[in-house]
Structure 1
Amino acid sequence: MKKLITIFTILMSIIPAFAFDLENSTEFESYVSITAPAVSITDEGYVGAAVDIDVKVSTGEGHAYMDTLPLTDIDMQGSARIASKVAFDTCGKDSDDYDVYYIIRSDVPTVGGPSAGAVLTVATIAAINNWTLNKNVMMTGMIGPDGTIGPVGGILEKIEVGAEKNVDYFLIPYGQRHQIDENNESIDSIEYGKTLGINVVEVSNIYDAVYYFTNYEIETDYEKNPMIDSKYNQIMGELSKITLENAKKSLEDVQNLDLSILNSSEKQEFEEGIQTASNLVYLGNELHSSSNYYAGTSRSFNALVIFETLQSKYLYRNNESVKNYLSEVNESITEKKNYVSDATLTKNNVEYVFSSKSRIYEASELMDEAFYQFDKGNLTSALEYAAYAKLRAETGIWWLELSPEEENPEEIDEKDLKYLAREYLDNSEIVVVYTSTVLSEELVAYPLLQIEDSIDLYNEKEYLLSMSKSIDAYVYSTTILDYTTDVDYLSDLAEKKINKAENCVLNTENNSEYIPVSALSYFEYAENLDDKYSKILYFKYSIAYAQMNMDILKEFDSDAFKYEEKSSDYEISGNSNNSDLFGQDYKIYFINITYLITGLLSGILIGVWYRKNN
């Protein structure tokens, strides 16, 4: 009897304790399998091939691993990294708390290209949320760091892979409906899919793709933060006012110059320049009055550049005087660069230091070109570049002076952005390298140059500037790859990204003064443009900088991304037969069973004791 009582006591102490540990366990592990289409080169040309991908997400330390057979190209590995980042950002989870494993198997000799990026992202999102994937859907598309799905090659061959796998839906990047076949004829991929019994659908972002694969619609609407918008308007209003006042003063200075020393052609050029700049001042004033501050600042700044150029051409008319002007401007830029380098970096002034540095760095680049033109004997071009450089550096100081005053600033070290800058550089390189394989050298010359600059700045430990150059390279590459993008869609995406960034600020300690100035200003500027290409370009800049804001916030304040989980985060549509093998339901069932067993054993022991004593 004593033995039974001892066993009973042990069970009563161990089983509930074990159940409690299980109930409070934070361990997580989830698997998802997906098939991606690929293209293989054979003696008969390009043919489609299937790639089997397993994705495992588990509790970890922020690593992403890849196991491939056969080997994959470096851009495939880079795509996996981007996919992991986008997936965790989309789900509002901290990637530092998890490890992701990508197991890739294919009969293709070498798996390469970024075309599986979107597929990897969908699979990772599904694994994070323990969602089951619909097997009747297949997709191809490059994934961007902002969650957009970019263009890829081999669309028709990949649709044929979907037909072989008997899928019902095949998702392709938006804008790639019409393809050119081997006979240089245009093929409608949607109509082509119908002949194979497949519904081909264009998708532009990861949210649309997730819905087709999971029947879940991820909530992407974030409320605007009126407090931040108000502060942004105050900041940009002040910058617009400073620029406008300087432009008006320069207009007066130029109008007071004696034009009698100019010949007729010079005088005509001068008067036309004054008229153009005067119109810009007027427009800048109108935009300022209507609270379109960044757009107004841009017009006033362009007027300033014209006025400075006119004055420099008026004052410096021979080799020696032009050389002296260039030297003076260059010395002034060097002083400003040193001044900004000495600025204390804090969590709340990152945007202003970043904006200041980027403008002064640009001024240095312009001066390099000014001296180059001078050495070639092009004095007029040298003055134009130098005038632009002078004003660009001046605006860098204006930006720094907009920094919020802080009594006890929380200083941060730019070295802490090293790995984030490396991530930005790697992600941009993937896109630029891919772009260079499908477009001419002339089109990709600028993005390639920005990548080179980003590498140089990274090596110089100028991590903020390196990120800026990486963003330049990425934005230009994706824009020239596909400028048929729906402008309204990009505008909507940019607004959502900005709102999300603003909501992250609300979660920071003491409601940080961090304002996503760059993202907001590029958004405002894009809205005031008429040219479609330029609107697309600057909306993409807005999206990229909003993402950068969130990434920087995460580096210095992880609380910004600890979202409160709500049932409304995901709107469920259609059937959902997802099983949570390692989730809460399983734990609850197991805990109930343990208590049931404990109760049964207790009853048996009590019964035995009762019979023995009666």
Structure 2
Amino acid sequence: MGVVTDKSYFDAILLLAAALILFSFLPYVSADPFSAAGHITLLAVSENSNNYIESGNTADLYLEIKDGNGKVYLDTFPLSKIDTQLSTRFARDYACHYLDKDCSKLDFFYTIRSDSLIIGGPSAGAAAAVLTIALLDNQKIDQSIAVTGTINSGGIIGPVGSIKAKIAIASANNIKKVLIPKGKRYYLEKESLLLAEHIAKNNENINESRNKTINKPINYTDLNLNISTDLYEYGKEKGIEVKEVLTIDEAMREYTGIDYSINLDEITLDPLYVITMNKIAKDLCERYVKLQQNWKSQHESEGSKENISLYDESILLINRSNIAMSKGQSYAAASFCFGANVNLNTLLFNATLQTAERQNHQLEQLFAAVIKAKNDLNKQELETITDLQAYLVVKERLDEAEDIIKKTLDAVKAIWTIDTANKINITNSLEMESIYYNIAFSAERLYSAYLWSSFINHQGRRFDLNEDVIKEGCIKKIAETEERLQYLHLTYPYEVTDITIGIKKAYDNLHNDNYKQCLSQALKTKAEIDVILSVSGIDDQNLQELLAVKSNVINQIIAKQQKKDIFPILGYSYYEYSQSLADKDISSALIYAEYAIEFSNIEIYLDDKTITNQRNIFNEIRDYLSIDIEMVLVFIIGILAGVFLASRNNQQY
């Protein structure tokens, strides 16, 4: 048997210590530094105060990506407008998300050079996104291609102006192909349109003077004027290919020859979601049957025209609910039954709450129930994304019910004061109908909140959902939404009062320490902004295609989340509701699709920061001391090796 000496123990301990130090530093030893640089051609025009093209030229967009801290830098000559600056930031954000790449340790340096007097407009967004994706993915792009268009949510390439002029500019600068936004092949000629309107106006005046009436509307095509230009044919005349593209996927295929589209996994519905949502839908729809029986037995013969109208509407909603259930759309079915229940309860309250005392009593009971439900909700422990999203649904419903109850209590007081003072019967007035409806809506909101609370069951991947984490997520989302709002103000000519109110609500929740509601409101407001940006300039016939693209994006997001043991119940529910509205209400369908995108991605604002913080500590030490962690590691290993060899030499006789 060999003799184990103290020296052997020392050697073993020394080797173990060296190994532990080596492996403990491995996560912080950076890989080869990331560095990439590239160029893409932009098409730029300038317009005078009357919106006519004065000049145009190409511009050069350069991008250099280096290791850093997630910053975006923009160097332009001449100066750029704020929308150009925001376009580059959106392009970076989209590219990183597109490739599912963590860009928090990379800096992006965008440089634009142009002969124009000032660089402005969002039309560089798609080009910037293409260039950024290509560099992050180490791909070369075809320099003979140019693209014009904005970058919108879901990778949609949005419309821009002056496309015909940009094609001419491309032709004069050796560009072989121009990619334009989908639906913009036929370009409306301003001069021809003005002339057509002038001729039409004259013809209209002639008809009026002769017949005093206009027998038929003027059709501009009857005037034999070329009001629109086929840009495909125009491109051929200029010796250049013009092609419509809808998404960044299509643009990347043109620029790189690579198909970036993903074969999407089918969403596998979480069994617990299916069971719970089916139960909610069944409960709400069975509730309708009971309410219907009550109304029929008591008041059908006495119903006014307004009551009959409400009843008929409830039947239509139930029919839609049945269709939704047959398609497996339980959230949509529950929503339709909810609406039907509100209508029937309105009819019942119309018959049973015809005094101020009864109305006040009903409202006070509802108010007490809402406050109790809120207190119970605040005691719930939230551990998963499902828990958080269920909390947001329940809280929103309770807040809405409380707000309506308070306003209705004030309305009851005001309306019965008028009745007493003027000695008039207001029982069937429009104001009173509104009170009945508000009481019914509040009652059904409270009931649906109770049903949704069953989703708070801690199923799925655990997250650190303390107030600090959610506050940080709220602040990040507000900042992102603010940037989108600035962009909207610069590119959209109309008032967006609802959007402004939405961002204010998010700030109010932040300042009142309501961080969960802050995050939810910011998510919704950004979604509403993205809807406007996405549909702006899109022809009606292309809206269904736009919805299909967004639906594919939602499928992709949810499928990825499921691989992380996350099922975003609210994101999926919004997606399902969007699908149920597609044939009847495309605008609402697009809004709910955007909600689905945002709420399915909520996880990116809530990741546990423990590992990141550890890494940051080492980065801060390295930066502060201006030392290279890798060289320190080599130095430590060298010392340990020297000590080990010295100890071995001392053992030799």
TM-score by length of 2: 0.71
Shift of 1:306: 0.6
Q: Which residue of 2 aligns with 1:207?
A: 249
What is the Cα deviation at residue 296 of structure 1? 1.3
**Alignment CA distance shift 1:315-1:165 (3 Å):** farther
Q: Which residue of 2 aligns with 1:269?
A: 306
1:49-108 per-residue CA deviation (whole Å, 9 max, x = no partner) reads: 433211112222222222223333333222222211110111121122322121222333
Q: Which amino acid letter does the alignment assign opposite residue 546 of structure 1?
A: I
Distance 1:319 1:196 in 2: 77
Pairwise mapping of residues 82-481 of structure 1 onto structure 2 (< 5 A)?
82-183=90-191, 184=193, 185-226=227-268, 228-258=269-299, 262=302, 266-285=303-322, 287-288=324-325, 290-317=327-354, 322=359, 329=366, 332-333=369-370, 335-348=372-385, 349-363=387-401, 378-405=431-458, 410-413=463-466, 414-430=470-486, 432-434=488-490, 436-437=492-493, 440-441=494-495, 444-460=496-512, 461=515, 462-479=518-535, 481=537
Counterpart of 2:382 in structure 1: which amino acid?
Answer: L
8 Å contact from structure 1 (residues 39, 49) kept in 2: yes
8 Å Cα contact 1:450/1:469 also seen in 2: yes
Q: Measure, in 1, the Cα distance between the counterparts of 2:360 and 2:119.
A: 56
Answer yes or no: is 1:35 the counterpart of 2:41.
Answer: yes
CA-CA distance at 1:215 after TM superposition: 1.6
Contact 1:373–1:381 (Cα < 8 Å) also in 2: no
Point out where structure 2 has 5 or more consecutive residues left out of the alignment: 1-28, 194-226, 419-430, 611-653
Write the distance in 2 (CA, Å) between the matches of 1:225 and 1:43.
51
CA displacement 1:145-190 (0-9 Å, x = unmatched): 3211122222223223222322121112112223333222333333
Q: 1:52 to 1:372 in 2, by over 3 A?
A: farther
TM-score (ref. length: structure 1): 0.75
CA contact (8 A) 1:225 1:503 kept: no
Q: Percent identity?
A: 24
The structural deviation recorded for 1:423 is 4.2
1:85–1:477 Cα change, 3 Å: closer
Question: Between Structure 1 and Structure 2, whose CA radius of gyration is higher?
Answer: 2
Q: Which one of the candidate residues 538, 546, 549 is aligned to 2:600?
A: 549
Deviation of 1:301 after TM superposition, in Å, equals 1.1
1:515 is aligned to 567
Evaluate the alpha carbon distance shift between residue 181 and residue 366 of structure 1 in structure 2; reply closer, same or farther with a 3 A threshold.
Answer: farther
Q: Distance in 2 between matches of 1:56 and 1:175?
A: 33
Shift of 1:400: 2.6
Give deviations 1:425-444, integer Å, cap 9, x for gaps. 1353145324532xx44xx4
Give the match's secondary structure for 1:99.
Answer: strand
CA shift for structure 1 position 304: 1.0
Are 2:129 and 2:151, in contact at CA under 8 Å, matched by a contact in 1? Answer: yes
Aligned partner of 2:560 in structure 1 is 503
Q: Which is worse superposed, 73-82 or 407-416?
A: 407-416
The change in CA–CA distance for 1:43 and 1:519 in structure 2 (over 3 A counts) is closer
Distance 1:289 1:215, change over 3 A: closer
Q: Is the 8 A contact 2:321 2:332 kept in 1?
A: yes
Contact preservation (8 Å) 1:244, 1:285:
no
Shift of 1:283: 4.5
Q: Contact conserved, 1:356 with 1:400, CA < 8 A, in 2?
A: yes
Q: Partners in 1 of 2:115 and 2:402 — Cα distance?
A: 51
SS at match of 1:280: helix
What is the deviation of 1:240? 1.1
Aligned-pair CA distance for 1:500: 3.6
* Alpha-carbon offset, residue 471 of structure 1: 1.5
Deviates more, 1:216-225 or 1:425-434: 425-434
Q: CA, structure 1 residues 527+32, in 2 after alignment: closer, same or farther (shift >3 Å)?
A: same
What SS is found at the alignment partner of 2:153? coil
User: In structure 2, what residue type is equivalent to 1:520?
Assistant: Y
Please tell me whether residue 526 in structure 1 is matched to residue 578 in structure 2: yes
Q: Do the aligned residues in 1 keep the contact of 2:570 with 2:599 (CA within 8 Å)?
A: no
* Structure 1 alignment gaps of length 5 or more: 1-22, 560-614
Task: Return the letter of the residue paired with 1:384.
Answer: Y
Cα distance in structure 1, aligned partners of 2:316 and 2:96: 48
